[in-house]
Amino acid sequence: MAASILIFIILLLIKFYNFFISPLLGVRCRFLPTCSEYCSVSLKEHGLVTGGVHSLKRIMRCHPIKILGGAHGIDLVPSKKYKSKELH
């Protein structure tokens, strides 16, 4: 219960970010789906803890320095459900 409320709040914050902050930052996404999309999907799919960990890991990858784990390209939330629904 508490977790789902928290997830709801985080999703709201992501929406706020999408509308008010993201446009100001300009085009900066290395990944598709974007980090904000990735985080919302992963929180909805995997819940607060696992979804949160996935989201953090994603953000930690979102930079150009390869030796520190930087990556880019298409990077979907690791979930069969997501893949089957969206990809096939």
- The residues of the shown chain that bind another protein, judged by CB under 8 A, are 19-33, 35, 59-64, 70, 72-74, 86-87
Query: Would you say 46 or 58 has its CB closer to another protein?
Result: 58
Q: Which is nearer to another protein, 4 or 83 (CB)?
A: 83
- CA 34 centroid distance within chain: 7
Q: Do residues 42 and 1 make contact, with C-beta atoms less than 8 angstroms apart?
A: no
Which helix (H) or strand (E) segment holds residue 74: the answer is strand 73-74
In whole angstroms, how close is the CB of 4 to another protein at the nearest point?
Answer: 25
CB of 59 to another protein, least distance (A): 6
Comparing CB distances to another protein, the nearer of 50 and 61 is 61
Shortest approach of another protein to residue 45 CB, angstroms? 16
Q: Give the whole-angstrom CA distance, residue 66 versus residue 42.
A: 24
Report the C-alpha gap between 51 and 46 in whole angstroms: 5
